[in-house]
Amino acid sequence: MERLQTTELARSNIARPYIRFQMDQHSGRHPLEIKSVAKSYDGVKVILPFSASVARGEKIALTGRNGAGKTTLLKSLVRNATGYIDDVDRQFPVDGGTVAWGHNVAVGYFAQDHSDSIVKGTTAVEWLHQFKPQATQEELRGVLGQMLFSGDDALKPTKALSGGESARLIFCRLMLQRPNVLVLDEPTNHLDLESINALNIALQKYDGTVLLVTHDYDVIDEVATRIWHFVAGGKVEDFKGPYSEYLVYAQEKAS
């Protein structure tokens, strides 16, 4: 009985973040059109000509081995997007093809090297404030508290943030900015289990469009409605269905 009570008490003391992605407005019906986009590095073809039409509300997981081109494609897509992507390398042209973002699209971007996008020499709350100058301290503190930056933690110097804290601060920014398209490149890398679960639930409930790279296949399985799978040689398979159905398709194709 004592062990049971101790266990229940320990569970209740676990700090759990709360993520909720909302939008200021819906995008058009087709937020993204990709036509024959190709990319090479040093003569090596990373992405063969790839075309896709993305419908509003689709949640697309990019899968495949490391180095297959997932991050390359995301960078190629967001370089000319509008919205909340200040940390994007605009000098990242594709070799061919076109990327067209649709009507009323506002993109929120989580870069794979996200810690580099947080300016050092300020505090968490000051860094967050720049993305919505009209926000009150109460609003900023509320968002930070959702991601476990409560009390004096909101005043933590950005140079002292861990990888997980940096990731949670980026989520604060995305919740504050309220984009209708989320482009997330390895958002679970530095997160603990509670934060991953919170992100999983938030993405399932989000009404906007999602492009997602993650090695957490539970998140892919529970969130994705479509799969872009990167195979050897730069080809991208476009499977319109959830991950569980893609695995059946891939197994049948291999047999």
pLDDT along the chain (255 residues), means of 10: 49 76 95 95 88 98 92 89 62 83 94 82 95 94 95 94 94 96 95 95 98 96 97 92 94 86
58 backbone dihedrals φ, ψ, rounded to 5°: -70, 145
pLDDT given at position 201:
97
- Burial class for 67, CB neighbours closer than 10 Å (0-12, 13-18, 19+): exposed
pLDDT given at position 43:
79
Query: Token match 């590095």: residue?
Result: 41
pLDDT given at position 123:
96
Q: In the CATH scheme, what is the code of domain 21-118+179-254?
A: 3.40.50.300
48 backbone dihedrals φ, ψ, rounded to 5°: -75, 160
Q: How far is CA 154 from CA 101, 147, 151, in A?
A: 35, 10, 6
Instruction: Tell me which residue of 103, 51, 38 sits closest to 228, measured CA to CA.
Output: 51
pLDDT given at position 84:
60
pTM over 0.85: yes
pLDDT given at position 14:
65
pLDDT given at position 99:
93
pLDDT given at position 156:
95
Instruction: Tell me which residue of 149, 152, 129, 153 sits closest to 139, measured CA to CA.
Output: 129
Give the 3-state DSSP-derived string for the chain, with helices as H, strands as E and coil as C. Answer: CHHHHHHHHHHHCCCCCCCCCCCCCCCCCCCEEEEEEEEEECCEEEEEEEEEEECCCCEEEEECCCCCCHHHHHHHHHCCCCEECCCCCCCCCCCEEEEEECCCCCEEEECCCHHHHCCCCCEHHHHHHCCCCCCCHHHHHHHHHHCCCCHHHHHCEHHHCCHHHHHHHHHHHHHHHCCCEEEEECCCCCCCHHHHHHHHHHHHHCCCEEEEECCCHHHHHHHCCEEEEECHHHCEEEECCCHHHHHHHHHHHHC
